[in-house]
Every structure is written in C-alpha cells, then in structure tokens.
C-alpha cells in the first residue's frame, strides 16, 4: 500500500470514527432523557424510576417541612345543630353496681354522638298523568300537558342521566363499567347505548355554552396553548386546548397544524415554542420556561455543558423574583437579569463555536448543530418571549395551566383508549370544556349537568365571573 493510499484510508477511517462517535453520543443522550430532562411524561420512565431520579426535581426545597404547617386551620367532621334523625337509647332502670332503682332519677346531662351517612340509594319512579276529555259539542279531545322534560312513555330522568354523564366524562368510567356501577349503586340497568346517547344529547345542548367559552378565552388578556395526540378509529388525531384560570376550551382536529380557528385571537399566548403558533397575528408570545429548565437540565447532566447550569440557576432566580414581587419586579433587578442572561448566552455560543463541527449528511444543506447550540440560538432569538414574565404581571413563568388541562384528557386515553368516531371525540371534548370551566368557577358539576339536560344551560353562562 502506497503512502498516499494509507493517508486516504486514515482520513476515511477518521471521518467514519467521528460519525460513529456522533451516533453513539446521540443514542446515549436518548437513553439519558426522562421526564425530568425532557417533555416525556412520567409514565414513560417505566421501571427505571428510583429515589435518585426523584431527588433531581427542578423544584427547589421549601423553607417549611412537608405536611400541615403550625397554626393552619384544620378541617374535621363536626356535629350539626339540627340532625335529620334522632335515635334515643334507653338508660337502665337500675344501677348495675348496687341494684338501686333509678327510673325516676333526674338526668344530669345528655351525651350526643352523630353518624354521618347516606340513605340506601334507589330509583324513584314518578308517574305523570293527564286526563283526556271529549268536548260534548264538537267531539274534540282535550287533555292536559306533560312537562317539557317528559317526552316518552318510559324514560330516565335528568338526575340519573346527569350522574351517568358525570361519572363518564369527569371520572372517565367507560360505558360498560359504568352500566355495572349504576346497577350496583342504584339498581338501575342503564345500557351502554343509553349512556352514549346521553353523551350525544348533552353535547348538543351545551353547544352554545362551548361557543361562549371559546369566545371568552380568545378575548382573555393571557391564554395558554398546548396540544396532544389522540386516537380516533385507529388513526392519530389532535386535541388542542386554549385555557385560562377560569375557562377551558378543547377542540379536536385531524391535523396538528389546524389552527386557523385561532386567527382572531389576541393578547398574550403562552406555549412551548411550537413553531405554527408564531403564525398567529396580533398576539404577543410567552415561552414556557419549565420546558427550558428540563432541556437545560439534560444539557447539564448528559452533555456536561457548564453554561446550561448557569442559565438554569438564572431562570429559577427570576422565577423566585416573580413570586417575591407580585406587584412588579424592580427595574434594576430586571436589568441585571437581562445582563446576566446575555452574558450566559455569549459564553454558551463561544463554547459551541470552539467545538469540532458535526459531519454534514450529504453535500447539501447546513451543517447539523448540537442540541445545546440550537437551544442557545432559540434563547437568543426569542429573548423577549422567554423573559416576558418579568415585565408583565399577568404572564406566568410556565405553561403549566395548559399542561394541567391536558393531563386529564390523557387520563381518559389511558383508561379507555381512543374513540371510535370523530363526532364522539368532538362531543367528549365539548363536554370536557363545559365541565372543566364549571370546575374552575367552583360550580357543582352534577347540578350544572342536570340543568343542561333540562335545557337550562343559560344558568351556566350567567355564572361567568367576568360578566
């Protein structure tokens, strides 16, 4: 082998070796990612969960010990002044010690013990009757009128249907199991088909409410956006949420990028930097820093990049200032945070510029950048969106509001799986919008479902805290 051939072979092996090192580093990074260092859900950690992972939480240790704090108001079961039933237990007529007759002795005191329980639940059948009379003159038949909610010779009432809808859509008990639950609790043999029809009826009755919720959440000064996948008929569709502290609006779409319905949205939108959200006009953006903290933690622990640790500490410090100054962070502190932020970005970019460039795949396109380099460019280019929480009082540090609102929908998916039809998925999303908003407004969910089934959904709209 000639010297030239040896040099060519060495160069080829070095390039191959560098490419293999990059692939190994990428695979090791993927293996090192978990729910603490990425957007993966905690359930994806599997059996590798351990106490060591739990101690690496981004949440800082508080000043107070866990549990109830000294001086907090306790809550316990207390006796009521007017009980529903009173059971008097007789006192022995003679003293068990000496046998003396105490039947006429005046009582010194009365000891009360109260038991809180519910009566045995059972179905109550109410029969509605109207009398039919014949007019002696024109021979016409005249009869009374049934209530508007009584439409069939035999039917279920609004209350039991509301219980079924509540357990089905708030606690995600599937129709088949729910049929068994109703039979065991109330002796009611409501079939899964009847429960599904109740879902369709309720979803149709609350359509005006959902439209109103969507309008309110769009006009809110700050709203949270997020999305997740769900299965319909064996295919992946998408569930989007737009929410505030008092409203939740879910919508189901076939494609993830179907956000045209949000074109008229205004105010500040908080999200996790999904690029299509930046196509929305007339809005300001605020990025979720919980996502940034997890990415920074991965860079700190897996890639061992020191700038990531500094940036993580700075963002956590900024979050503490956000809680410490609820009326607004002082300008000098904001200026200092911005100064440190830019300094850390520069240090990180200098580090990545000094690294050996990654191999290009093919002869076209830009050279691939490392994960940390991409994050640095995002933090640099969107600095106003990352730190918007510092200057606007109503903008939070994270997008946790939307994350919490989506979490219950994932619970439904884990319990019952996907949906058979798109229409039923839309009905479920509308009912969840209705229930989540009612819960945020501290309304009794069973009562609002009952009112809706009776055609009184307008009562819900009148409870709007902003009206």
Contacts (Cβ under 8 Å, ≥6 apart) of 367: 357, 358, 360
Whether residue 238 lies inside any domain: the answer is yes
Whether residue 258 lies inside any domain: the answer is yes
Cα–Cα distance for residue pair 337/364, rounded to 1 Å: 40
Q: What is the pLDDT of residue 53?
A: 46
Number of domains in the chain: 1
Q: Backbone phi, then psi, for 243, in 5-degree steps? A: -145, 160
DSSP code string of 8-42: HHHHHHHHHHHHHHHHHHHHHHHHH--TTTSS--G
What is the per-residue burial (b if ≥16 Cβ within 10 Å, else e) of 148-183? Answer: eeeeeeeebbbebbbbbbbbbbbebbebeebbebbe
Q: What is the pLDDT of residue 9?
A: 77
Q: Are 249 and 213 in contact (CB under 8 A)?
A: yes
Whether residue 431 lies inside any domain: the answer is yes
Task: Give helix 192-205 / helix 207-219 axis angle, nearest 10°.
Answer: 50
Whether residue 184 lies inside any domain: the answer is no
Q: Are 211 and 218 in contact (CB under 8 A)?
A: no
Whether residue 253 lies inside any domain: the answer is yes
The CATH number of the domain holding residue 439 is 3.30.420
DSSP structure class, residue 301? I
Q: Are 236 and 252 in contact (CB under 8 A)?
A: no
Whether residue 176 lies inside any domain: the answer is no
Range of the domain at 275: 202-288+399-461
Q: Are 414 and 285 in contact (CB under 8 A)?
A: no
Q: What is the pLDDT of residue 47?
A: 60
Whether residue 219 lies inside any domain: the answer is yes
pTM for this model (two decimals): 0.81
pLDDT tens across 42-99, in order?
666 666 655 444 445 666 666 777 777 777 777 788 999 999 999 999 888 888 888 8
Q: What is the pLDDT of residue 54?
A: 46
Max distance between CA atoms of the chain, in angstroms, equals 126
Handedness of CA 259, 260, 262, 265 (dihedral sign): positive
Q: What is the pLDDT of residue 13?
A: 78
Cα–Cα distance for residue pair 412/90, rounded to 1 Å: 53
Whether residue 439 lies inside any domain: the answer is yes
Residues of the chain with pLDDT under 70: 28-29, 32, 35-62, 360-365, 459-467
Taking Cα atoms as reference points, which of 412, 315, 440 lies closest to residue 60? 315
């Amino acid at each position: 082998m000639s010297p030239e051939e040896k040099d060519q072979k060495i160069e080829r092996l070095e390039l191959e070796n560098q490419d293999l090192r990059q692939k190994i580093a990428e695979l090791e990074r993927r293996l090192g990612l978990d729910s603490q260092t990425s957007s993966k859900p905690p359930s994806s950690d599997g059996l590798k969960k351990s106490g060591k992972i739990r101690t690496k939480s981004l949440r800082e240790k508080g000043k107070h010990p866990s549990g109830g704090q000294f001086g907090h108001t306790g809550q316990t079961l207390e006796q009521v002044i007017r009980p529903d039933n009173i059971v008097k237990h007789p006192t022995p007529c003679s003293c068990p010690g000496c046998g003396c007759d105490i039947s006429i002795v005046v009582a010194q005191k009365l000891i009360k013990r109260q038991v809180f329980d519910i009566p045995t639940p059972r179905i109550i059948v109410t029969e509605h009757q109207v009398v039919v009379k014949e007019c002696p003159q024109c021979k016409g038949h005249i009869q009374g009128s049934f209530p508007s909610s009584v439409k069939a010779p035999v039917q279920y009432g609004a209350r039991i249907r509301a219980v079924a809808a509540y357990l089905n859509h708030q606690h995600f008990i599937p129709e088949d199991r729910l049929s068994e639950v109703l039979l065991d609790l109330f002796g009611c043999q409501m079939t899964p088909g009847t429960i599904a029809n109740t879902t369709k009826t309720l979803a149709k009755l609350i359509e005006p409410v959902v439209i109103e919720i969507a309008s309110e959440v769009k006009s809110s000064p700050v709203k949270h956006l997020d999305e997740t996948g769900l299965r319909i008929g064996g295919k992946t569709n998408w569930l989007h949420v737009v929410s505030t502290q008092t409203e939740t609006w879910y919508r189901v779409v076939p494609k993830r990028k179907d956000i045209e319905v949000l074109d008229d949205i205004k105010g500040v939108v908080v999200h996790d930097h999904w690029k299509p959200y930046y196509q929305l006009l007339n809005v300001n953006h605020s990025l979720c820093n919980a996502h940034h903290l997890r990415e920074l933690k991965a860079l700190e622990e897996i890639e061992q990049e020191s700038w990531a640790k500094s940036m993580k500490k700075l963002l956590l410090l900024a979050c503490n200032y956000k809680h410490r100054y609820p009326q607004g962070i002082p300008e000098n502190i904001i200026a200092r945070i911005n100064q440190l932020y830019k300094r850390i970005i520069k240090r990180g970019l200098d580090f990545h510029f000094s690294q050996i460039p990654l191999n290009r795949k093919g002869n076209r396109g830009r050279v691939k950048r490392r994960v940390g380099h991409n994050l640095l460019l995002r933090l640099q280019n969107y600095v106003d969106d990352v730190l918007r929480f510092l200057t606007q009082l109503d903008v939070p540090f994270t997008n946790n509001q939307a994350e919490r609102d989506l979490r219950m929908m994932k619970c439904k998916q884990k319990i019952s799986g996907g949906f058979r039809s798109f229409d039923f998925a839309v009905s479920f999303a509308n009912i969840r919008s209705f229930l989540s908003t009612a819960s945020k407004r501290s309304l009794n969910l069973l009562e609002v479902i009952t009112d809706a089934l009776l055609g009184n959904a307008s009562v819900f709209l009148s409870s709007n805290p902003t009206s």
